[in-house]
Amino acid sequence: MVTRREFIRKASIAAGAITLTGLAQCRSGQAGSGNKPAGGRVIDAHIHLTPGKVKKALQAMEENSIRYAVVIASIAGSDPNLYVGDKAFYEILDSIKPYPNRLALHYTYDWSLAETDPEFFNKAPDMLEKAVNAGAIALKNLKQLGLVARDFEGKLIAIDDTRLFPIWERAEKLGIPVAFHTGDPVAFFKPWEPANERWDELKLHPEWSFSDRSKYPPLETLFEQANNVYRKFTGIRFVSVHVGGYSENLAAVSRWLDEIPNLSVDTAARIGELGKHPSQEGYDFFNKYRDRIMFGTDMAYWNECDVEGAGPCKDFTAEEIKKFYDIHWRYFQTRDKKFDHPTPIQGNWKIDGIGLNEEVAGKIYWDNAFRFYKLDRFGVA
Ligand SMILES: [Zn+2]
C-alpha cells in the first residue's frame, strides 16, 4: 500500500489532467486538487464528531465548501472507550448547539441496553422523543442491530423485530427521518484471510469480520429485514447509509430504490467501491436516482484523532482533508480514469470518475439532504 504522503502527491499530479466529459468540458480543471464542488456549496450528510473537535470540523467545513454537516450518530468518548446512547448524544448536542445552521445530530440507541435492561423496548420510544425535543433531527441505527445486538434472553434482535415497531411508530409521529447502517462491505462477510480484498482493513480491525455464519446472519438476511421495515413504515423518510450497505451491487440497490419510494441512500465512505464500477454504470445510477442520493463522506473528527472515511486515525492537516474532499469532487464531476480513491485502506485499486452534470451534482451535494432534513427551518444557506 502506498503511504499517505505518496497517495496525496499522486492524486495531485493526476488531477492536473484535462478531461473531456462532464463538468470539466465547460470548466476545464474542475477536477481534483485545488478545485471546487459544482454549485459551490455542499451538505456533508454523514460525518462523525466528538465535542473536543467542533472547532476543527467547522474550520475544515469552511475550507471545503461544506456549509452544513450532519453528525450521523451519537458516539463520543475516546477510543477504546467510545460510548453511544444518551450520554454521548447530550454531550455532542451541547457542543454543537451554538451552530444550528452548520451542524446537526442524530440520536443513536445504545443497543447493548436491550441485553441488560428488560424494560429497554418499553423505554426506547420515550428516549427518542426526549432526544428529538432536545434537538435531534433524526434517528440513526448502528449496524449492531440485526448483526450483534441481543435481547435480555441473549437472542439476536432482527432489524424487523416487532418489539422495535413502537420506536419506528414514534419516529413517524415525530416526523423525523430514520437512518440505518445495515450490513457492511461484502468482503467483511467473506473469510478473514489474506486473500480477502479488504485484508489491509480487516487485519487492522479483526472485529469487523462477520464471516462466522454460526455467529452472524448473512448479509442478504440483514438487507431483507431492513427492507421489511422500510416497506411497512411508509410514512418515514429512511436513509440507508453507505449506498444502502451494498455499493458492490448497484443493481440490487436500484431494485430497492425502485420498490421502496420512501428510501434514500448516502455515499459515505464508499467512493472506493463506487468508483470500481464502470464509469457509465456509476453515472447511470446517480443520474437515475438523482433525487434519492445524499452526499456524505464519513469524515470523523474523534477526540484523539481524525478518520477520513476509513483507515488510519491521525490528526489530518487542513491540506490532507482538502485532498480527501477534492477526490470526491473529482469522482462525481469528471470522467478521469484510474485515480486513487479517498479511502486507500479499503483496497488497492484505482477508480474512474462518473462526470455528473452540474444539476445532478447539485442535487446530490445539496438539494436532497436539504429537503430530507428540512433544513430551511435552521436558516441553512
Ligand atoms: Zn459513519
More confident residue, 340 or 266: 266
Q: Is residue 55 part of a domain?
A: yes
Residues 6+ apart with CB under 8 A from 202: 187, 188, 192, 196, 208, 209
pLDDT at 29: 35
For residue 332, the CA-to-ligand 1 centroid distance in Å is 20
For residue 239, the domain's CATH number is: 3.20.20.140
Q: Is residue 274 part of a domain?
A: yes
pLDDT at 15: 29
For residue 46, the CA-to-ligand 1 centroid distance in Å is 6
Pair 372, 211: CB distance under 8 Å: no
Per-residue pLDDT, averaged over 203-222, amounts to: 92
Per-residue pLDDT, averaged over 216-223, amounts to: 96
Per-residue pLDDT, averaged over 254-268, amounts to: 98
State how far the Cα of 143 lies from the Cα of 269, in Å rounded to an integer: 15
For residue 28, the CA-to-ligand 1 centroid distance in Å is 33
Q: How many domains does the chain have?
A: 1
Domain of 132, in residue numbers:
40-324+349-378
For residue 308, the CA-to-ligand 1 centroid distance in Å is 10
Nearest to 176 by CA among 104, 244, 86: 104
Residues 6+ apart with CB under 8 A from 139: 106, 107, 108, 109, 128, 167, 171, 176, 177, 178, 179
The model's confidence at residue 150, banded by pLDDT at 50, 70 and 90, is very high
pLDDT in tens, 77-122: 887 788 999 999 999 999 999 999 999 999 999 999 999 999 999 9
Q: Is residue 122 part of a domain?
A: yes
pLDDT at 308: 92
Dig out the grid coordinates for 309 from the structure.
472515511
For residue 284, the CA-to-ligand 1 centroid distance in Å is 25
For residue 268, the CA-to-ligand 1 centroid distance in Å is 7
Pair 8, 320: CB distance under 8 Å: yes
Pair 341, 309: CB distance under 8 Å: no
pLDDT at 8: 28
Percent of the chain with pLDDT strictly greater than 70: 91
For residue 343, the CA-to-ligand 1 centroid distance in Å is 13
pLDDT at 168: 98
State how far the Cα of 228 lies from the Cα of 221, in Å rounded to an integer: 11
The answer, yes or no, to whether residue 21 has pLDDT greater than 70, is no
* Residue in the structure block whose three cell numbers are 470526491: 328
Residues 6+ apart with CB under 8 A from 328: 37, 271, 295, 297, 342
Interior angle at CA 69, CA 64 and CA 71, nearest 5:
135
pLDDT in tens, 160-187: 999 999 999 999 999 999 999 999 889 9
Q: Is residue 16 part of a domain?
A: no
For residue 17, the CA-to-ligand 1 centroid distance in Å is 32
Q: Is residue 332 part of a domain?
A: no
For residue 138, the CA-to-ligand 1 centroid distance in Å is 14
The answer, yes or no, to whether residue 125 has pLDDT greater than 90, is yes
For residue 363, the CA-to-ligand 1 centroid distance in Å is 21
pLDDT at 79: 77
Per-residue pLDDT, averaged over 117-142, amounts to: 98
For residue 266, the CA-to-ligand 1 centroid distance in Å is 10
Q: Is residue 8 part of a domain?
A: no
Is the bond preceding residue 80 a cis peptide, omega within 30 degrees?
yes
The answer, yes or no, to whether residue 32 has pLDDT greater than 90, is no
Pair 288, 37: CB distance under 8 Å: no
Helix (H) or strand (E) holding 139: strand 138-141
For residue 374, the CA-to-ligand 1 centroid distance in Å is 21
The answer, yes or no, to whether residue 197 has pLDDT greater than 90, is no
Residue 49 CA to its chain's centroid (Å): 13
The model's confidence at residue 28, banded by pLDDT at 50, 70 and 90, is very low
The answer, yes or no, to whether residue 19 has pLDDT greater than 50, is no
pLDDT at 242: 97
Q: Is residue 20 part of a domain?
A: no
pLDDT at 344: 76
For residue 27, the CA-to-ligand 1 centroid distance in Å is 32
For residue 335, the CA-to-ligand 1 centroid distance in Å is 27
State how far the Cα of 325 lies from the Cα of 64, in Å rounded to an integer: 7
Pair 124, 158: CB distance under 8 Å: no
Lowest mean pLDDT among 26-30, 43-47, 189-193: 26-30
- Length of the chain counted residue by residue: 381
Q: Is residue 162 part of a domain?
A: yes
Report the DSSP beta bridge partners of residue 103.
Answer: 69
